[in-house]
Amino acid sequence: MRHGIDTYRLLPERARLRYEGVKSMVCVISEKDVIVRKPHQCFGCLQSIQKGDPANRQVCTDSGEIYSLYMHTYCDSVMYEMLSIYGMDNEELLIEGCVTEYLREIEFDGSPLEYVLREC
C-alpha cells in the first residue's frame, strides 16, 4: 500500500516513479527536455553536457531552495531503467553519478550513451 493519494495515481508512470523516489528530499516542480545554452554537469554520469546538447532538465525545490538538475537524455533513459528495476522506494539510488554507478553494478563496460545504443 503506497500513498493512497488520488493525484498520485493521475501522474504519468514516469513522473510517478520520480515522485516516489524524491518525495522525502526534494520536490520536482517541472521536468522537460531542453537544449542547453551553456555547459552543465550531468547528474547521472557527472560528465559535462555541452552547449547545444539535448538534456533533461528538472526544476526542484529542497528546503525552500529552487535549483535545476540536468541530465543527458540518454542518462535519463538509463536512470529510468534503473529505477524501474530497483523501484523508486529506494531513495539511495538517486545520488549524483548514479547512472555510472548503475552501469558499474551491472558490469557494463562503456558509457551511458553506449549502453542506450547497445540494442540498436
In the bound state, the residue with its beta carbon closest to Zn ion is 42
β-bridge partners, 60: 28, 67
Q: Which is nearer to Zn ion, 75 or 98 (CB)?
A: 75
Residue 110 C-alpha from the chain's centroid: 19
Nearest Cα neighbor of 55 from 65, 38, 66, 67 is 38
* Contact pick of 18, 20, 42, 103 for Zn ion (by CB under 5 A): 42
Stretch of residues binding Zn ion (CB under 5 A), selected from 19-27, 34-42, 56-64, 84-92:
34-42
Length of the chain counted residue by residue: 120
Residues of span 79-118 touching Zn ion by CB under 5 A: none
Q: Which is nearer to Zn ion, 45 or 82 (CB)?
A: 45
Q: Which is nearer to Zn ion, 57 or 72 (CB)?
A: 72
Give dist(CA 88, CA 69) in Å, integer. 18
Residue 5 beta carbon to Zn ion: minimum distance, rounded to whole angstroms: 32
The DSSP secondary-structure symbol of 1 reads -
Q: Which is nearer to Zn ion, 26 or 79 (CB)?
A: 79
Give dist(CA 81, CA 1) in Å, integer. 23
Residues of span 61-80 touching Zn ion by CB under 5 A: 72, 75
Binding site for Zn ion (CB under 5 A): 42, 44-45, 72, 75
